[in-house]
Structure 1
């Protein structure tokens, strides 16, 4: 079984990447083969609205025709038995790299009709891990939960299943004394990272285990 994770954060060793690695560790503990892809290492653009993936009888029907670094990633997605995406929340939504990736990933597979039929060759378990500087209350107050809900909706349309893991109030800087960040309590942040973030890591690990052992989509 192959489990693929995609990191939409520019950081390879911080909150988002840590949770994704824990998910893959959980999958590997059940015998899965795993891989982590860092989007910020790749050269690609967002959807160019060519609609080649929607032209009836076209050679790219149901497939994104753009031959950049995402072409190889999409091959790996189709070979995977489970897919986990991860992104920090930047200005109320996923990073620009992840947004561009999602546009290309999802639009190619979902039929442009009322039925929203998926052209992805099978149903697989998918997950979306979000890390954010804000609290759960702030997320809802500012309406940042709506993009998360829509991402889950899109993933379900394309792949058949999706669940989200949200890690709130994360420790953003290694040294808060070097940045202007008076909106947040650095000591409280450090305490939460020590006490709560390990629980989020366990949830991520459990997600990886569950995606391998749950055969409902495989």
Structure 2
């Protein structure tokens, strides 16, 4: 079994990356082989609407035909058994890097034929980890749930079960005194980091183990 994690955040050792590592540890505990990719290491763009993935009699149906540094990752995703995605929330949505990756992945799998939603022939379980600065009780008024549900619907193109995990009120800086951020209470943020983030890490571990276990059945 192969589990791939894709980090859509710019930092490799902070909230999103940490939770993805924990999810991969969970997958490894279920016997999976794992790999982690950082989107900010790659030079690529979003879908260019060339429709090459939908040309009749093409061997590339279901595959993005645009060639750049994202191409090998997209091909690995199509071969994996479970996919873990992670992104911080920037201005109410995933990062631009993650959004461009999702465009390339989802559009190539989306079928334009009547009565068929996806051209993907296999079942891949998926999980999406979202990290965000806002507290959990702010989510309803900000409308973030619509973003999470929309991505969950798109992940149905992989034909497998999909879940998502929310890590809210995250700790953003090593030292808040170095930044213009007076609206945030550093003591509160540190308390959340100490008390709640370990719970988020355990949930991420369980997510990775659970998705790997589902595909092992």
Alignment TM class, shorter chain as reference: over 0.9
8 Å contact 1:5–1:37 — kept in the other structure? yes
> What is the TM-score of this pair, normalised by structure 1?
0.95
8 Å contact 2:22–2:202 — kept in the other structure? yes
Larger deviation: 145-154 or 97-106?
145-154
| Displacement of 1:131 | 0.2
Aligned to 2:152: 152
Aligned to 1:201: 201
Find the residue that maps to 1:45 and give its secondary structure. Answer: coil
Separation of aligned partners in 1, 2:114 and 2:137: 34
- The answer to whether the aligner puts 1:111 opposite 2:111 as a matched pair is yes
Runs of 5+ consecutive residues of structure 1 not aligned to the other structure: none
Q: Deviations over 1:66-117 (max 9, x none)?
A: 1111211112112211000000000110000000000001110011256452
Runs of 5+ consecutive residues of structure 2 not aligned to the other structure: none
Aligned to 1:184: 184
Aligned to 2:167: 167
Separation of aligned partners in 1, 2:27 and 2:61: 32
- The answer to whether the aligner puts 1:78 opposite 2:92 as a matched pair is no
| Displacement of 1:144 | 1.9
Aligned to 1:23: 23
Aligned to 1:141: 141
Q: Deviations over 1:119-160 (max 9, x none)?
A: 223111100000000012222211122111101110013343
Q: Give the number of aligned pairs.
A: 217
Runs of 4+ in structure 1 over 4 Å off = none
8 Å contact 2:122–2:158 — kept in the other structure? no
Separation of aligned partners in 2, 1:7 and 1:102: 12
Separation of aligned partners in 2, 1:137 and 1:131: 14
